């Protein structure tokens, strides 16, 4: 089975995140892997969540234990990706020798942009429907989960979207709203069941809530401390998340 194109491109342009897999394999803990990599615990979580979301199967398997606790190890797929990364390191050295000018590498860097959106979910287009000037795009995320995006017709044409195209859905954390069982869902919004994986307090504002979807992909949202306390939302709590299709941005490999 070949790696998805999106994950392969991610490996090529962000090798330091893939290198984190080696630290996880060596340390058996995300906390210790972060320390060995010289990054924060939060940055390590972000990197692993992003990699797991882009892969067809989770690359890192974690055992529960709360913030700073539990263990972690590479899955079979994670070990395979790590071997691929090690081969790419060798190819990278050859590329640097072959580049005719340093500006060649600068150009490639400009063509491969990062995004500020915290949530990146890989899926396949399962439906395309015209709605006035917009297209409603249905995405199959796997594991029986589906969301919709509402984009302009021009965007559909520019991205060359079609049925069964693999895309990444980008969603800012501030656009994801947490719901408990008694909360109504806004008409027309995407709504997914999730489990709280971690709650990261912030002295200057809302807490960051990390969520796991039923298919293993992850989301990040923000919630006020008072709201979390009122509804007794904590690690392991079942919740729902909602976000409007117009908030979902789509990206494709270039």
Listed in order, strand segments (DSSP E) in 3-76 are 60-62, 72-74
**Digit-coded pLDDT (tens) for 41-78:** 888 888 888 888 877 788 888 776 555 455 888 999 88
Strand partners, 241: 178, 192
Q: Where are the domains of the chain?
A: 5-111, 122-170+247-251, 173-244
Q: What's the mean per-residue pLDDT of the chain?
A: 83
SS3 content of the chain, % helix, strand, coil (to 5): 35, 30, 30
Beta bridge partners of 119: 171
- Work out the angle between the directed axes of helices 15-27 and 41-54 (0-180°, nearest 10): 110
Cα(22)–Cα(145) distance, rounded to whole angstroms? 31
Q: What is the pLDDT of residue 88?
A: 66
pLDDT confidence of residue 118: 80
Within 8 A by CB and 6+ apart from 208, the residues are: 173, 199, 200, 202, 220, 221, 222
Instruction: Give me the pLDDT at residue 110, please.
Output: 45
User: 173-244: same fold as 122-170+247-251?
Assistant: yes
Answer whether residue 5 shows pLDDT above 60. no
Contacts of 115 (CB under 8 A, 6+ apart): 170, 251
pLDDT confidence band for 226 (50 / 70 / 90): very high
Question: For 165, which DSSP code?
Answer: -
**pTM of the complete model:** 0.64
Residue 43: how many other CB atoms lie within 10 Å: 14
Can you tell me the mean pLDDT for 211-236?
94
Encode pLDDT of 83-121 as tens digits.
877 776 666 566 555 555 555 555 544 444 566 678 889
Interval 154-183 mean pLDDT: 92
The CATH architecture annotation of domain 5-111 reads Orthogonal Bundle (1.10)
Domain 173-244 - what CATH class? mainly beta
Query: Quick check: 210 pLDDT over 80?
Result: yes
Provide the CATH number for the domain formed by 122-170+247-251 in this structure. Answer: 2.40.50.100
pLDDT over 60 at 209, yes or no = yes
Cα(221)–Cα(173) distance, rounded to whole angstroms?
5
């Amino acid at each position: 089975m070949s790696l998805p194109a999106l994950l392969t491109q991610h490996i090529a342009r962000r090798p330091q995140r893939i290198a984190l897999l080696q630290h996880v394999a060596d340390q058996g803990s995300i906390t210790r892997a972060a320390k060995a990599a010289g990054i924060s615990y939060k940055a390590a979580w972000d990197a692993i969540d992003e990699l797991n979301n882009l892969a067809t199967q989770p690359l890192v398997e974690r055992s529960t234990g709360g913030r700073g606790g539990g263990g972690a190890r590479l899955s079979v797929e994670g070990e395979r990706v790590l071997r691929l990364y090690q081969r790419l390191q060798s190819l990278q050295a050859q590329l640097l020798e072959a580049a005719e000018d340093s500006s060649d590498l600068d150009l490639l860097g400009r063509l491969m942009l990062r995004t500020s959106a915290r949530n990146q979910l890989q899926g396949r287009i399962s439906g395309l429907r015209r709605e006035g000037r917009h297209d409603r795009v249905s995405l199959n995320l796997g594991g029986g989960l589906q969301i919709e995006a509402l984009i302009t017709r021009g965007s559909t044409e520019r991205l060359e979207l079609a049925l069964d195209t693999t895309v990444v859905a980008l969603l800012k954390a501030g656009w994801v709203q947490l719901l408990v069982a008694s909360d109504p869902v806004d008409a027309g919004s995407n709504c997914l069941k999730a489990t709280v994986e971690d709650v990261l307090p912030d002295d200057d504002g809302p807490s960051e809530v990390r969520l796991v979807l039923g298919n293993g992909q992850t989301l990040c949202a923000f919630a006020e401390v008072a709201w979390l306390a009122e509804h007794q939302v904590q690690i392991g709590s079942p919740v729902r998340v909602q976000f409007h299709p117009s908030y979902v941005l789509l990206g494709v490999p270039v």
